[in-house]
């Protein structure tokens, strides 16, 4: 098979993304972040099966959209790589994907009454919707809730539609973005927004961003993405004792 | 008395389990974790009376099912060792036990309206039930709530029944599993689930896992137990400055 | 004036108590812990006016029950030392006092509907009551809420009565005990209990400890005070880089 | 242009204020703190566009009240510097300003039912009111919620009026004070008060400070500002490994 090496800067950023998302509490032993291959859009980059906080450049593998590992050799791969592949196939605009179980988001995935919506300008990307993926609709009511094949990945991508964020019932969420730095930003601020919204709902009658506010706020705040990226990268480096 | 030495790898894992559960906030100055003796199923291994985060291999003692210390000498033992012994006697499938006061679980032990149930795929083991041990039924309404003898341990084991988890009113919980790594996993994720469920209840009408989903999710996620174990062990080692 | 030097072990423990209570999040820049003088029950030991986490043995001063500093020289003293003095005068059984603004307790001091009660065996000392000191009853409705003289200290001691804990409206709480280690334990577990009880109230219909359970649990758990003390002291020492 | 150098002690305190507010969780990658120029009241000091926790003395720039950077050269400046300038122009008594997204305050900015009020003596400054700045009233309902020009800054200053604190809907808050140390204190305790008040509201029927209590408590507690400042400065220094 003919494999092109990705840009080493992209690989470095993907390693940093793994470490940032662990350090910020979005990923723990589970969850993963991927990037579309910069030289071959039909492939994506994702770590081998391991805890995200421990990923280094040598752990990054290539996959096809249907989840086939291309250079894993005898290394184990993530069971849920299909989340990533199916989205890269369905959404040519998406360049990076995070799947997480971040703790304030899960309650929104299981409540039949609440809907995740942007309460502040940092989470304008939620204005495009936060649809729910109910895996029972595809897998029946006796599944293990995992996106363990391309059919389930495809169903998840269909639930995501054109949004930037999809809730996964009893499981967590998946976030997408046009760049790796933005997807890290969105995964962090989805968690922040969920926590803020839970508190606002307790206080009563939250005033959400209008659709136009959400779009405008997204454009403005996401243009500043280098600032949190630099801060979070430094914090993760310090925590690792680097 | 004829005492067989346990496998040193099991003792090392039991020390690691103590340190992980402290580092993850499941145990503090109180609570304990035990393992069934690998060479003699009628005995179990448990630290001497001390804070779990400070346990080393030399602190691990052997006990009979009725709570009798076998090699403690003049070292003090945990008052509530009867929790462990009574469960090992009643449940031959159980190889490890954690008793804890982890903070999100206690509220479920005292609320007469809420029931701990699995809200996400990581806590499928709760699908087998989270019964309540009301110590008043055995000890009357003037006890110190501690499982301080074999009669109370036996009553606790009866409340546990065939489940993997039992709430102890006004006290905490006890978790069991077929391996030491799994019991650590379950003690951590019982706490995670309790916190998620409290938030989901506030948001309203949580959708719980079906029994079949809980069983399937348990099989899948618990097959991955090496990943969090390695991560948590490393985190505990770092925190200790090792 | 004839001043007797206190036992240096008591001074060391008082320094440790300051550092533990800071490290455990019970005190921050404010709040204080005192001990009755071991050789002269009409005096008590309290740090000079400073942040508790930075107290060393040289900062411990002696005071009379009416709040008069006995060896402060030109060092500034705490404005609210009257809390301590008035309680030592009113309660010969009390050997140590903590005044704090610990974060989960303050909401109970201001809610007209909730009452702090023991929800778990670790906080049995709350079974003797957690009365409210409403400073308006003595100081009127334009005070700064501070116990800034002996008259207010005396009113606080009257609200405390024979209990181990008193809420101070819009301010925090004061805890007392027959030993320094126990008062630290109680200050930590009052905070723990408050957090657990808030969550139990949200879940609905908490089952509290009966009075007899509270008394029995207090006797049992407080007999174990050396274990958390040793753990907390070590944690505080590590955090300080000692 | 004729620029006077500010007192180097003021610059050092402004650097410390940036680091403290980051370390205390009031600022993260976003938000900023400024001080009025000590030699020219028509100017103010604010860092260049960067994460507050990384600010050093060389990053402090001078600005005119209308937001014009005076010595930035080719360094990027904060988009929302107009918050600061408009307030310094409208309020000659204000010597320092913090704009933050601190997490417990945001929910109060979006709930139509709750009002931020002082629940404890540490936050007496809130007794002068915590008005809401609804940016829609000035910018319409399609803005990015940012105070990106002097007209919006002026509208914010009008909402603030004579108070010490103003909520910004879906965004955060801005705090002002007669000294830099006090504005740091107020930004920290606004967050503390918001968290306490949310919990008190859940418990039910909070008793707030009377206006006279709030004023008296503000005078007393804020006279102690050196104590938390020293503690927080030391904590921030330690965290940075200094």
Reported pTM: 0.97
Chains that touch D (3 or more CB pairs under 8 A): A, C
User: Model confidence over A91-135: pLDDT tens digits?
Assistant: 999 999 999 999 999 999 999 999 999 999 999 999 999 999 999
What is d(CA D193, CA D165) in angstroms, rounded to the nearest whole number? Answer: 12
pLDDT at C242: 52
User: Would the pLDDT of A242 be above 90?
Assistant: no
Dump pLDDT digits (tens) for C64-95: 999 999 999 999 999 999 999 999 999 999 99
Distance CA D215, CA D127 (A): 7
* Minimum distance, in Å, between the CA of residue A124 and any CA atom of chain D: 9
User: Which chain A residues touch D30 with a CB distance below 8 Å?
Assistant: 122, 224, 227-228
Please report the ipTM that was assigned to this predicted complex: 0.96
- Among residues D33, D239, D85, D121, the alpha carbon closest in space to that of C109 is found at D121
Which residues of A have a catalytic role annotated? 80
β-partners of residue C47 are C60
Whether the CB of A51 is below 8 Å from some CB of chain D: the reply is no
Q: Which residues of B touch A103 (CB under 8 A)?
A: 192, 195-196
Per-position DSSP letters for A188-229, written without gaps between them: HHHHHHHHHHHHHHHHS-B-PPPHHHHHHHHHHHHTTTHHHH
Cβ distance C231 to B51 under 8 Å?
A: yes
pLDDT at C240: 83
CA distances from B167 to A43, B105, B115, B131, B208 (A): 48, 8, 10, 6, 19
- Where residue D241 falls (left for φ over 0; alpha for ψ -120 to 50; beta otherwise) is left
Query: How does residue B108 score in pLDDT terms, banded at 50, 70 and 90?
Result: very high
Angle at B138 between CA C220 and CA B77, to 5 degrees: 40
Distance from CA of D235 to the nearest CA of C (A): 10
Active centre residues of C (catalytic): 80
Judge whether D214 is closer than 8 Å to chain C, CB to CB: no
D102: distance to nearest CA of chain A, Å?
10
What pLDDT was estimated at residue B240?
Answer: 83
Per-residue pLDDT tens for A2-26? Answer: 799 999 999 999 999 999 999 999 9
- Mean pLDDT value across residues B203-208: 98
Model confidence over C145-180: pLDDT tens digits?
Answer: 999 999 999 999 999 999 999 999 999 999 999 999
Average pLDDT, chain A: 97
Helices A180-203 and B180-203, packing angle to 10 deg: 60
Q: Which of A122, A196, A204 sits opposite D113 (nearest CB)?
A: A204
Q: How far apart are CA A232 and CA D53, in angstroms?
A: 11
Residues of A in contact with D145 (CB under 8 A): 120-121, 209, 213, 216-217
**Is the Cβ of B63 closer than 8 Å to some Cβ of chain C?**
no
D220·C170 Cβ contact <8 A:
no
Q: Do D110 and A120 touch (CB under 8 A)?
A: yes
Could you tell me the CA-to-CA distances from D131 to D114, D134, D161 in Å, in that order?
Answer: 12, 10, 9
Rounded average pLDDT over B48-55: 95
pLDDT of residue C104: 98
Sheet with A165-168: list strands edge to edge.
Answer: A60-64, A43-47, A32-36, A96-100, A172-177, A165-168, A132-133
Q: How far apart are the first and last CA of chain B?
A: 37
Q: What's chain D's average pLDDT?
A: 97
pLDDT of residue A1: 59
Contacts with A108 from chain B: Cβ below 8 Å: 203
Q: Which of B23, B29, B105, B146 to mutate to test the interface with C (most CBs of C within 10 A)?
A: B29
Are B210 and A141 inside 8 Å of each other by CB? yes
**A237 to chain D nearest CA, in Å?**
13
**Separation in Å, CA of C236 to nearest CA in chain B:** 13
Q: Which residues in chain B have their CB less than 8 angstroms from residue C199's CB?
A: 104, 107, 198
Q: In chain C, whose CA is at the least distance from the CA of B108?
A: C200
CB contact under 8 A, D234 and C54: yes
Among residues C132, C76, C135, C140, which one has the least CA distance to residue C108? C132
Reply yes or no on whether the pLDDT at B50 is more than 70.
yes
Angle ∠(D166,D167,D173) on CA atoms, nearest 5: 85
Question: How far is it, in rounded angstroms, from Cα D87 to Cα A234?
Answer: 33
Cα angle C232, C233, C239 (rounded to 5 degrees) comes to 85
What pLDDT sits at residue B241? 76
Which of helix, strand or coil describes residue C183? helix
List the alpha helices (DSSP H) in B24-146.
82-90, 106-110, 136-139
Rounded CA-CA distance D62/D4 in Å is 10
> Would you state the pLDDT for residue D242?
53
Catalytic residue list contains B80: yes
Distance CA D218, CA D227 (A): 15
| Ordered per-residue pLDDT tens for chain D, 242 residues | 579 999 999 999 999 999 999 999 999 999 999 999 999 999 999 999 999 999 999 999 999 999 999 999 999 999 999 999 999 999 999 999 999 999 999 999 999 999 999 999 999 999 999 999 999 999 999 999 999 999 999 999 999 999 999 999 999 999 999 999 999 999 999 999 999 999 999 999 999 999 999 999 999 999 999 999 999 999 999 888 75
Whether B30 has its CB under 8 Å from any CB of chain C: the answer is: yes
Question: What are the Cα distances from residue A194, in Å, to A83, A107, A126, A190, D124?
Answer: 22, 9, 10, 6, 30
% residues pLDDT > 90 (chain C): 97
Residue of chain A minimizing CA distance to D102: A196
Distance CA D21, CA D28 (A): 8
Q: Give yes or no for a contact between B81 and B150, defined as CB atoms under 8 angstroms apart.
A: no
Q: How confident is the model at residue C32 (pLDDT cuts 50, 70, 90)?
A: very high
pLDDT at B242 exceeding the cut of 60: no
D199 touches chain A (CB under 8 A): no
pLDDT computed for residue B200 by the predictor:
98
Across B186-211, average pLDDT: 98
Chain D interface includes A54 (CB < 8 A): no
pLDDT category of residue C1 using cuts at 50, 70 and 90: low
d(CA A58, CA A47): 9
Mean pLDDT is lowest, of B131-145, C227-241, D49-63, for C227-241
Indicate the helix (H) or strand (E) that contains A132: strand A132-133
pLDDT band at residue B1, thresholds of 50, 70 and 90?
Answer: low
CA distance C200 to chain D (A): 11
CA distance D33 to D184: 8
Of the residues A124, A199, A204, A233, the best mutation for testing chain D's interface (the one with the most D CB atoms within 10 Å of its CB) is A199
Please report the pLDDT score of residue D2 as a whole number: 75
Residues 154-193, chain B, touching A (beta carbon < 8 A): 192
Residues C184/C229, Cβ–Cβ less than 8 Å:
yes
């Amino acid at each position: 098979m003919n494999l092109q090496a990705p840009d080493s800067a992209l690989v470095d950023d993907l390693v940093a993304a793994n470490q940032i998302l662990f350090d910020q509490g979005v990923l723990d032993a589970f969850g993963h972040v991927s990037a579309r291959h910069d030289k071959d859009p039909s492939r994506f980059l994702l770590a081998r099966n391991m805890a995200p906080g421990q990923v280094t450049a040598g752990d990054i593998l290539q996959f096809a959209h249907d989840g086939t590992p291309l250079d894993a050799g005898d290394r184990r791969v993530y069971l849920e790589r299909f989340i990533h592949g199916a989205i890269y196939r369905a959404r040519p605009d998406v360049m990076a994907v995070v799947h997480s179980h971040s703790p304030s988001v899960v309650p929104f995935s299981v409540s039949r009454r609440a809907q995740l919506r942007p309460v502040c300008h940092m989470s304008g990307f939620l204005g495009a919707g936060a649809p729910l993926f109910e895996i029972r609709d595809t897998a029946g009511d006796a599944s293990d809730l995992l996106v363990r094949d391309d059919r389930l990945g495809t169903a998840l991508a269909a639930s995501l539609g054109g949004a930037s964020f999809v809730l996964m019932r009893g499981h967590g969420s998946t976030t997408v973005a046009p760049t790796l730095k933005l997807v890290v930003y969105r995964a962090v601020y989805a968690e922040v927004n969920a926590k803020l919204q839970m508190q606002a709902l307790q206080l009563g009658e939250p005033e959400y961003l209008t659709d136009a506010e959400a779009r405008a706020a997204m454009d403005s705040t996401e243009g500043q993405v280098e600032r949190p990226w630099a801060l979070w990268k430094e914090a993760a480096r310090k925590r690792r004792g680097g």
